[in-house]
């Protein structure tokens, strides 16, 4: 009898172990008992102006059951949000609204705690707990205009000198029509900057809005200061050009092929692809090269000389010509011509008018063999359609140095030089930069006027 009872006890114990294993396995592997804590993310970089909302996102596969948000400042602890009645869903988003803090509070600890709907942890759920130390900054940056050019003409340039400062400064720049951005270059001493800005030719006179100096700190406090400029329009010359089959076969097709583009089937499609798609990509390349390679080192003096015309040359095209292209009597496309076209003898030598550094020397689609030289202050010069280069990328150049020879590479009718002036990658009117009086009155005098104030500043 005892032996029988012993066997029954062993059997029951075995059953018990099996049940425990089954229950344990169920608890361990069942999604109802998942053990992953919720994920907490906030859109904050460690600074807060206490005015902008802080966006918080909570995520968990089993859903969020509850969350709590509070902050600690010194000996003070205050609950901001405490929510235990949440709708079902894997993700929840909410905003931490503006707080009322006394001026002496310069830093707070923001705490977010969340539980999910898992039955793990004795049905309490998995807990996520995150602390964020936030520096409180409610002060806007200083951003003031010291001086600037009196006016700017469509397609032209202007000089600006500004002061920008903030202990948590994040970004600073100038905008044209709240769209085109110009970087500020350190000037003379810490806290002072300059920029040569441009009025892009494709922004019409009637579309001019304003030019702003913008400064933003890490807490997203922003100061916007208007740069006062009188504006002038520019007369646009309009040309009609006829595109022949010979031009398409001799120029457009080779340019597309050399640029790695597929060639369409009809002559109209071929030319339009070269004149629109390839041109647009070439312009993007010019702007990227210019912005990526422009010098942003501290500038202390301005010594840009007037750019000189190609020696013994005749002008065949100028800046801001709006060209309409016709094929078999029908208009098929249009484009801006934004440089000076000079022609002399075949393969005429090209000498540079200002010292600088070569930042681009390569084949560039419609521009052909192209050089771009950086002269500082965001000013660059461009030499297109050359037959050969006499200098290399990254080479430092001296005034009067022979840098290339004219040619007919790219989308051109014949041997010539396309000369352009770039302001932070935007082609501007070269005639301004070829005029000694314009450079003196619009740029040099502006910088010298600012120098006096900067030198006397603490």
Are residue 84 and residue 151 in the same domain, yes or no? no
pLDDT at 2: 55
CATH number at residue 176: 2.60.40.10
Coil, helix or strand at residue 292: helix
Q: Please check whether residue 304 is in contact with residue 379, taking contact to mean a CB–CB distance below 8 angstroms.
A: yes
Coil, helix or strand at residue 236: coil
Are residue 85 and residue 214 in the same domain, yes or no? no
DSSP string of 63-120, one letter each residue: -EEEEEEEEEETTEEEEEEEE----S-SEEEEEE------TT--EEEEEEEEEES--T
Query: Is 308 within the bounds of a domain?
Result: yes
Q: The domain containing residue 402 runs over which residues?
A: 238-435
Are residue 147 and residue 177 in the same domain, yes or no? yes
Are residue 347 and residue 430 in the same domain, yes or no? yes
Domain boundary among 136, 154, 187: 136
346: which residues sit within 8 A by CB, 6+ positions away?
406, 415
Consecutive H or E run containing 165? strand 157-165
CATH number at residue 50: 2.60.40.1930
Coil, helix or strand at residue 401: coil
Are residue 274 and residue 399 in the same domain, yes or no? yes
Are residue 188 and residue 314 in the same domain, yes or no? no
Q: Which residues face 41 on adjacent strands?
A: 57
Query: What's the distance, CA 22 to chain centroid?
Result: 59
Query: Is 194 within the bounds of a domain?
Result: yes
In our burial notation (b when 16+ CB lie closer than 10 A, e otherwise), range 126-157 reads bebeeebebebbeebbebebbbbbeebbbbbb
Are residue 197 and residue 331 in the same domain, yes or no? no
Residue 44 burial (CB count, 10 A): 17
pLDDT at 26: 45
pLDDT at 378: 97
Domain boundary among 78, 104, 136: 136
Are residue 268 and residue 322 in the same domain, yes or no? yes
298: which residues sit within 8 A by CB, 6+ positions away?
186, 187, 188
CATH number at residue 274: 2.70.70.10
Are residue 181 and residue 277 in the same domain, yes or no? no
Are residue 259 and residue 369 in the same domain, yes or no? yes
Query: Is 15 within the bounds of a domain?
Result: no
Are residue 211 and residue 271 in the same domain, yes or no? no
Query: Is 19 within the bounds of a domain?
Result: no
Q: Phi/psi zone of residue 425: left (φ > 0), alpha (ψ -120 to 50 degrees), beta?
A: left
- Phi and psi, residue 108, nearest 5°: -135, 160
Number of domains the chain contains: 3
Domain boundary among 212, 233, 254: 233
pTM confidence score:
0.87
What's the rounded Cα separation, in Å, for the pair 115 and 215?
A: 40
pLDDT at 27: 46
Tokens of 458: 């603490």
Query: Is 20 within the bounds of a domain?
Result: no
pLDDT at 128: 93
Beta strand pairing call for 151-153 and 230-232: parallel
Query: Is 71 within the bounds of a domain?
Result: yes
What's the rounded Cα separation, in Å, for the pair 161 and 264?
A: 49
Are residue 267 and residue 382 in the same domain, yes or no? yes
pLDDT at 74: 84
Tens of pLDDT along the chain (458 residues) come to: 555 666 666 555 556 555 555 444 444 444 556 888 999 999 999 999 999 999 999 999 888 999 999 999 988 899 999 988 787 778 889 999 888 888 889 999 999 999 998 877 776 889 999 999 999 999 999 999 999 999 999 999 999 999 999 999 999 999 999 999 999 999 999 999 999 999 999 999 999 999 999 999 999 999 999 999 999 999 999 999 999 999 999 999 999 999 999 999 999 999 999 999 999 999 999 999 999 999 999 999 999 999 999 999 999 999 999 999 999 999 999 999 999 999 999 999 999 999 999 999 999 999 999 999 999 999 999 999 999 999 999 999 999 999 999 999 999 989 999 999 999 999 999 999 999 999 999 999 999 999 999 998 87
């Amino acid at each position: 009898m005892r032996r029988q009872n012993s066997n029954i006890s062993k059997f029951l114990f075995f059953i018990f172990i099996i049940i425990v294993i089954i229950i344990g396995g169920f608890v361990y592997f069942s999604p109802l008992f998942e053990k992953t804590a919720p994920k907490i993310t906030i859109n904050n970089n460690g600074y807060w102006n206490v005015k902008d909302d802080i966006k918080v996102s909570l995520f968990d596969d089993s859903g969020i059951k509850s969350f709590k948000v509070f902050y600690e400042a010194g000996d003070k602890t205050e609950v901001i949000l405490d929510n235990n009645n949440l709708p079902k869903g894997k993700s929840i988003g909410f905003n931490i609204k503006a707080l009322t803090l006394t001026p002496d509070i310069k830093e707070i600890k923001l705490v977010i705690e969340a539980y999910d709907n898992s039955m793990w942890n004795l049905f309490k759920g998995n807990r996520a707990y995150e602390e964020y130390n936030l520096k409180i900054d409610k002060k806007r940056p200083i951003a003031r205009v010291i001086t600037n050019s009196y006016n700017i003409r469509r397609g032209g340039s202007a000089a600006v000198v500004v002061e920008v400062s903030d202990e948590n400064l994040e970004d600073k720049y100038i905008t044209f029509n709240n769209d085109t951005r110009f970087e500020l270059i350190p000037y003379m001493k810490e806290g002072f900057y300059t920029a040569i800005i441009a009025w892009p030719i494709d922004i019409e006179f009637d579309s001019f809005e304003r030019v702003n100096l913008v400064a933003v700190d890490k807490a997203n406090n922003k100061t916007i200061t208007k740069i006062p400029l009188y504006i002038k329009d520019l007369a646009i010359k309009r040309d009609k050009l006829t595109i022949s089959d010979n031009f398409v076969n001799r120029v457009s097709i080779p340019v597309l092929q050399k640029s790695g583009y597929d060639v369409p089937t009809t002559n109209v499609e071929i030319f339009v692809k070269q004149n629109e798609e390839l041109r647009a990509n070439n312009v993007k390349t010019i702007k990227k090269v210019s912005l990526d390679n422009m010098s942003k080192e501290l500038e202390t003096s301005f010594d840009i000389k007037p750019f000189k015309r190609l020696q013994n040359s005749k002008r065949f095209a100028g800046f801001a010509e709006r060209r309409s292209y016709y094929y078999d009597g029908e208009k098929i496309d249009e484009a801006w011509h934004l440089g000076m076209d000079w022609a002399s003898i075949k393969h005429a030598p090209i000498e540079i008018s200002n010292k600088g550094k070569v930042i681009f020397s390569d084949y560039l689609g419609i521009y052909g063999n192209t050089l771009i030289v950086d002269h500082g202050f965001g000013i660059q010069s461009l030499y297109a359609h050359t037959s050969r280069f006499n200098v290399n990328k990254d080479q430092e150049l001296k005034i009067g140095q022979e840098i290339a020879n004219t040619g007919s590479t790219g989308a051109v009718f014949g041997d010539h030089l396309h000369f352009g002036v770039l302001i932070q990658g935007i082609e501007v009117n070269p005639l301004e930069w070829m005029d000694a009086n314009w450079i003196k009155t619009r740029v040099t005098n502006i910088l010298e006027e600012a120098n006096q104030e900067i030198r006397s500043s603490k």
